[in-house]
Amino acid sequence: MEHERVPVLVVGGGYAGLSAAALLAWREIPVMLVERHPGTSVQPKAFGVGPRAVEMLRPVPGLEEQLANIWTGIGDTMRIAIAKSLTDPEPHMIMHDEHEELAFLSRVTPVMTIGAPQAEIERVLRRKAEELGADLRFSTELRSLDQDGDGVTAVIRDADGDHVVRADYVVAADGHRSPLRRMLNVPTSGKGELGRMCSIMFDADLSGIVRDREVTLWYLQNDVFTGVLVSGTGVGAHVLGVNYADGQSESDFTEQRCVELIRTAIGRPDLDVRILDTTSFDLAHTLADTYRAGRVFFAGDAAHTMPPTGGQGGSTALQDGCDLAWRLWLVITGQAGPDFLDTYDAERRPIGALTADAQLANLGVRMPPALRVGYPEPLDDPAGALLGFRYHSTAIIDEPGDDGSILEDPRVPNGRPGSRAPHVVLDWDGQRMSTIDLFGSGFVLLAAKSAGQPWMDAGRLVKDRLQVRLTRLLVDDELMDVEGRFTEAYGVRGGGAVLVRPDGYVAWRSLDLAPDPTATLETALRHILSRHHPHPPTAAA
Phi-psi label, residue 179: left if phi above 0, alpha if psi -120 to 50, beta otherwise? alpha
- Classify the C-alpha dihedral 17-21-22-27 as positive or negative: positive
Count of positions (residues) in the chain = 541
480 contacts 427 by C-beta, under 8 angstroms: yes
- For residue 157, the surrounding DSSP H or E stretch is strand 152-158
Give dist(CA 189, CA 192) in Å, integer: 7
Give dist(CA 508, CA 416) in Å, integer: 8
Report in angstroms the alpha-carbon separations of 304 from 54, 345, 350: 20, 12, 10
Tell me whether strands 443-448 and 92-93 are parallel, antiparallel or unpaired: unpaired
Give dist(CA 414, CA 420) in Å, integer: 9
Nearest to 455 by CA among 410, 531, 513: 513
Provide the 3-class DSSP secondary structure of residue 383: helix
Q: Is 344 a catalytic residue?
A: no
Secondary structure (DSSP) of 253-321:
--HHHHHHHHHHHHT-TT---EEEEEEEEEEEEEEES-SEETTEEE-GGGTEE--STTS-HHHHHHHHH
Nearest to 54 by CA among 319, 253, 363, 435: 319
Give dist(CA 321, CA 147) in Å, integer: 21
How many helices and strands in the chain, by DSSP H and E? 14, 25
Amino acid, res. 114: I
Amino acid, res. 161: G
Provide the 3-class DSSP secondary structure of residue 462: helix
Q: Which residues are paired to 446 by β-bridges?
A: 473, 498
285: buried, middle or exposed (CB in 10 Å: 19+, 13-18, 0-12)?
buried
Nearest to 232 by CA among 213, 259, 253: 213
Give dist(CA 386, CA 214) in Å, integer: 24
The active-site residue out of 15, 169, 219, 291 is 219
Q: Give the number of other Cβ atoms within 10 Å of residue 246's Cβ.
A: 6
360 contacts 307 by C-beta, under 8 angstroms: yes
Give dist(CA 174, CA 447) in Å, integer: 42
Give dist(CA 538, CA 126) in Å, integer: 29
Active site positions, annotated: 219
